[in-house]
Structure 1
Amino acid sequence: MPRCLAALSLLVLTACATSHTEKVSFEEAFAARPESLEPPPSLTKVPVRRKPKAAAAPGKDLPTASISPELQAALASFVNRAREYRRTVQRGSAMPDDQVENWGDVTGALDDFLDRPAAKTSSLDIVRARVTLEAELEEDARTYGDIPAELAESVMGRVGQLSARMSEVRRLMVQTVREVPRFTWPLFPVYVTSDFGEREHPIKGELRDHLGVDLSAKRGQAILSAAPGVVLRAGWNGSHGYQVEVQHASRIYTRYSHLSRVLVEPGEILERGDVLGLAGDTGMATGVHLHFELWKDGQPMNPLDELGQPTEAVVVGESPAQPPKKHQGRRPSGRRP
């Protein structure tokens, strides 16, 4: 019985850790500061619940991807045998050796499937495999009084590998998009406190290229994704503090720096306007604000050129002491993120 509880605990923990994945039934799935600064210990990632999205919807795979008939056959055979074994035992009995062998067969088929390159992997296969593993392990936990702990750990390890593979496929899908997306400002109202271009660094006092724009923000204000995309990086990045980087199309991405909280994970798919973090002053910053960058083809772009002048000039409820300074100098060149 303790082993059964351990397996159920593993299942529950995994479900919590993967709350961004849309749940699908088995039947539905088979139906058609300086750079060396360390992150402040008090500022940790806070999970956020948002409506799950099918990031890599079945039927919208990469051109190089294809359904694996071998995996489909292995999953169907595994489910049929598992259900038959459960019908022949009394609830609370130990898992029969035949079912242990059945699990070994399906995990072996999954290992062969995961040997495929990500570019040739169908997202529908990933969804089917993950739904099958989670559903059948849960049914076994309800039926049998004892599940080998090593078996449960092995199955949940494959679930983690399938999650990682889905993230790889998502990134590849975004990288194949060629059209330039429509961008919107990542917060509102918009008040530009420091423009794009050459400026005097507010802390070091040196002339430096400012690779984005600084936007006034209140501490804890929601920061939004400027366009649909996939999260490439989310976490601490030296003088940028807590930072999120989102890729929107082939060689087009945005960066959001000095956040107080990060609310997304690498590989997560975002729609325009989804909250990705909260405004703060982490890293090398003189006050609470958002540093926002837009990169195309390896070069920083002026967000004002792409998004247009903001319709609002002053933050609601506040009256800036001075109008925004304009430092529209030369465009930074040859810089890499």
Structure 2
Amino acid sequence: MKVILINRKLGGSRSIELGRLSRALLSLCCLGLPLGLVAGGYLFGQENEANSMRGVALDGLQEELEAQQRELAALQDRAERKLQAMTINLAQLQARLTRLDALGQHLTAMADLEEGEFDFSQPPAMGGPLAGEFNVEYETSGLEVELGLFQDQLSDREQQLDILETLLTNRKLEEQGWLSGRPIEKGWISSYYGKRTDPFTGKPAFHHGIDFAGKEGSNVIAVASGVVTWTGSKSGYGEMVEISHGDGFVTRYSHNKQALVQPGDVVRKGEAIALMGSTGRSTGAHVHYEVYKHGRSVDPSSYVQRTRR
């Protein structure tokens, strides 16, 4: 193979004879250079694409990391707020428990309970067989454990207050229905129960009540709670009020100037039911007080001298 080289300036030419090896090298250079350029461009493009993909992936990871950091910050903020709320709740529970303890001790003192009869500082006594077995496993923080303990203590105190309230209510009801004391606020006994000289005839007679003298118009009071069964004028008694107290007890208040209640009224112990007068068979302002037990007249003296149970 010949290669002719032409020199335009000198106007001459020169021919070179190429052998096989030279032809192979020349062909390799002519074909290899474009192929190399193409291959280099391809590899360069692949590398740029890989770099671009790596950049996109890194950007995505960075955004995800930032999102997780924001979520973590929000969780921490919520946890701090919850901890603050639990701390405030714990303080409120402590205050409630203190108030309940003080109230319970005050009510216990007011109830005049014997020492040891009702110990508010101790949980209420209770028990019973175990109905089935339960295995409960849980994990809580120290603050949650404290809250749970305070909740339990509050439940105990509230239960004890309920018991104490029931006890006081029952005692109050018993006290209200307990016949005791005098049927007047001020005055004195002018005649006792039993045999006496009748003030009108001068002859011996049986007196079925106790007379309490006092100022006309002063209050006549109920000696126990009950239901008014009679008001009105009755021969010998004048204006009378009759009250039924249950358990077979009935009391009568006679010679009143004016009744302050009506049949069917529910009255409480110590409530004013009439005004003292001198109506009926009477020599002066007083109240004739009678007590009936199961329909039989009994001496009111034992009930007048009664004290609180």
Normalised by the size of structure 1, how large is the TM-score? 0.38
- Larger RCO, structures 1/2 (Cα 8 Å, 6+ apart): 1
The structure where strand makes up a greater share of residues is 2
The structure where helix makes up a greater share of residues is 2
